[in-house]
Amino acid sequence: MKAKAAILFAVGQKLDIREVEVEPPRSGEVLIQMAAGGVCHSDLHVMTGHLAAQLPAILGHEGSAIVAEVGPGVTSVKRGDHVIPLWRLSCGICEYCSDGRPALCAEGTQIRMTGRLLDGTTRFKLDGVEIKHFAGVSSFSEYSVVPANAVLKIPDDFPLDRAALLGCGVITGVGAVFNAARVKPGSSVAIFGSGGVGINVIQGAAIAGAEKIIAVDRLANKLEFARQFGATHTLNAKETNPVEAIRVLTGGRGVDYAFEVIGLPATIRQAYDSLSKRGMAVVVGVAPMAMEVSVPIMTLVFEERVLTGSVYGSSRPRTDIPMLINLYRAGKLKLDALLTRRYPFSQINEAYEALERGEGLRSIVTF
Ligand code: APR
Ligand code: ZN
Ligand code: ZN
């Protein structure tokens, strides 16, 4: 079948909407009709070359969809089911899957690195030439073929526009709080970067019962959003040294948890420098490839500080996404205010330009 899809042909270019040929799903795969695609910074990292991907590829890894057709052997979902594609495929049986860390499964890495599905081929062609998948999702296409293990069925009455945000921004941010850091009630938290993902770290910290939630950003509009989502203090990194200001706000002690949700060595170091003894810094942002960060060994040893990272919210999506849906329905997780703008799919480049300018929080393209 034919589908309009946004292709990145080379680093530094805009997305090119072209009509591609989508092949039917093979064994263990499903054809999904995209409802909404989330505009996440990780796709932008690929466009600018900060993050490697096999090209040309149909980008997009956050989204919501309806199952259009299932391939041979698929019993977990059926035509008409509403689903969220999961950008980290997992096998379910390896040591990491068994231990509750499916985002570390080798199958996810394979699909991400090769741009092909597990059998080593793609389901997209343009003029007979192979087009790669992105993270096994490629949500910037009217139709996509994904492994059945990489879709999660959601309730039919759950709004598909807001569901799209759960698939990356929300699970990544809230999951980093719940699963990676395991933020304790009454604790202090600093968040570096209050964009689409960082804002979910902020609301995750609020849900977890953190007492002090200090949001850092360079843009005043983001800090305004941060307050709406539960930040108790905001710091503009353009005007103040956030590390010093965090020490002042915590009576010199430092915070129990610091999250870096930007993807820069300098802000990772700031997050680490903001910690109390035994504090934990969690890196969520994706830094340009080959970048390194250094930290003073003295505080690592004599203060027992922890520096770690979190991919895909260190989550188990099949239990975490239903939990997020429950939290939204209970009025505790903000999704309506998170979705600040919708664009028709034809305006996907405008959506990324607005993200680059720092407008809004999270936007989606609709099909
Ligand atoms: N100091 C403080 N804030 C900064 C700085 C800085 N030096 N540089 C950028 N920021 C802020 C931006 O103003 C913006 O609000 O970081 C935020 C980044 O947010 P978004 O652009 O909305 O990106 P998002 O989708 O949240 O992704 C953030 O997480 O998943 C990863 O790949 C993703 O690395 C990216 C990061
Ligand atoms: Zn993302
Ligand atoms: Zn596995």
Cα 192 to Cα 201: distance, rounded to the nearest angstrom: 10
Report how far ligand 1's centroid is from the alpha carbon of 258 (Å). Answer: 15
Verdict on whether the full-model pTM lies above 0.85? yes
User: Is the CB of 39 inside a 6 Å radius of any atom of ligand 1?
Assistant: no
User: Is the CB of 45 inside a 6 Å radius of any atom of ligand 1?
Assistant: yes
Residues of the chain with pLDDT under 50: none
Q: What is the pLDDT of residue 252?
A: 98
User: Is the CB of 190 inside a 6 Å radius of any atom of ligand 1?
Assistant: no
- DSSP letters of 146-172? EEGGGEEE--TTS-HHHHHHIIIIIHH
Q: What is the pLDDT of residue 288?
A: 86
Q: Closest by alpha carbon to 25, among 69, 90, 83?
A: 69
pLDDT tens digits, one per residue of 222-272: 999 999 999 999 999 999 999 999 999 999 999 999 999 999 999 999 999
Mutating to test ligand 1, I would choose from 47, 229, 262 the residue with most ligand atoms within 8 A of its C-beta, which is: 262
Q: What is the pLDDT of residue 289?
A: 84
DSSP state letter for 254: -
Do residues 62 and 144 make contact, with C-beta atoms less than 8 angstroms apart? no
Cα 200 to Cα 310: distance, rounded to the nearest angstrom: 14
Report how far ligand 3's centroid is from the alpha carbon of 109 (Å). Answer: 10
Report how far ligand 3's centroid is from the alpha carbon of 96 (Å). Answer: 6
pLDDT tens digits, one per residue of 146-174: 999 999 999 999 999 999 999 999 999 99
Q: What is the pLDDT of residue 348?
A: 98
pLDDT tens digits, one per residue of 234-248: 999 999 999 999 999
DSSP state letter for 211: S
Q: What is the pLDDT of residue 186?
A: 98
Do residues 361 and 196 make contact, with C-beta atoms less than 8 angstroms apart? yes
Rg of the chain on CA atoms, in Å: 20
Strand 255-260 to 188-192 pairing = parallel
Cα 145 to Cα 139: distance, rounded to the nearest angstrom: 10
Q: What is the pLDDT of residue 290?
A: 87
Q: What is the pLDDT of residue 317?
A: 97
Q: What's the mean per-residue pLDDT of the chain? A: 97
Do residues 171 and 180 make contact, with C-beta atoms less than 8 angstroms apart? no
Q: What is the pLDDT of residue 255?
A: 98
pLDDT tens digits, one per residue of 119-147: 999 999 999 999 999 999 999 999 999 99
